[in-house]
Amino acid sequence: MQVERKFITDDLEIIGIFKEFAKNRKHLWAWQQNPDASGKRPVHFIHIKKVDVIKKTIIVMPNNADGFRFTKGSEIFLFCSERGLAIKTAVRELEKDYLTIPLPVGLNLLSKEFLEKIELVEKENEQSNLHKRAAPRSQAKSGQYVGIDKLDESNKVVRADLFQLYDISAGGVGFKVHDPAEFATGDRIRVSHVDGKPLAKPLVGTVVAVRQMDDELTDTFKIGVKFTSE
């Protein structure tokens, strides 16, 4: 009977795996255990930009628009859910738009049982959160989009994007993103238009939840926003 491997320690195999990730722009999970400014553990989707065999380093890029929310001086975890590969590593360089890690000397191979228990982002549970809403929300029709402006502390627009609408009410809005770091709890946003129609008075709110949705073909996260009185 073949013994199940728990680690990969062969240098050439490890280099080959990361070069394959870079070639295919495979999105991986990355996170730190220590909380960010929002009080939550920062979780990102990332991709491998380059594997430098001479310098024995790997350049990692964030998939989201605003860059990394990681803290300098703290280790990060990388995880490939499809292959069950994971590492904990130091960070040599950390900027908003990239980070550099040393080429790992080993990769952990996680068991199927362990993989089934991993929950890096809270799962969406619609029924358990209904009691938190001040007003009932209307489910969006398929193909409806919402214009979202992300605001800074002085209410200036940091970026503006279109996202698929999930639901909306007088008290808040839910929309879908494909990266857990696209928004964080505490972010201020403004809804500028719904389904292509500009709002007479844009709605301002605060992100109160980022949850992973299970019933989607690709990794999808629901951003829950509570409108303010502004």
pLDDT in tens, 201-230: 889 999 999 999 987 678 899 999 999 966
Q: What is the pLDDT of residues 7-16, one digit of tens each?
A: 999 999 999 9
Q: Residues of CATH 2.40.10.220 domain(s) within the chain?
A: 126-227
Residue predicted with more confidence, 134 or 47? 47
d(CA 15, CA 104): 9
- H or E element: which one contains 193? strand 188-194
- The burial of 200, by beta-carbon neighbours within 10 Å (0-12 exposed, 13-18 middle, 19 or more buried), is given as exposed
The CATH number assigned to the domain with range 7-117 reads 2.30.110.10
Looking at residue 125, its pLDDT comes to 74
- The burial of 21, by beta-carbon neighbours within 10 Å (0-12 exposed, 13-18 middle, 19 or more buried), is given as buried
The CATH number assigned to the domain with range 126-227 reads 2.40.10.220
Which range, of 39-43, 74-78, 94-98, 103-107, averages the lowest pLDDT?
A: 39-43
Looking at residue 117, its pLDDT comes to 82
Looking at residue 135, its pLDDT comes to 54
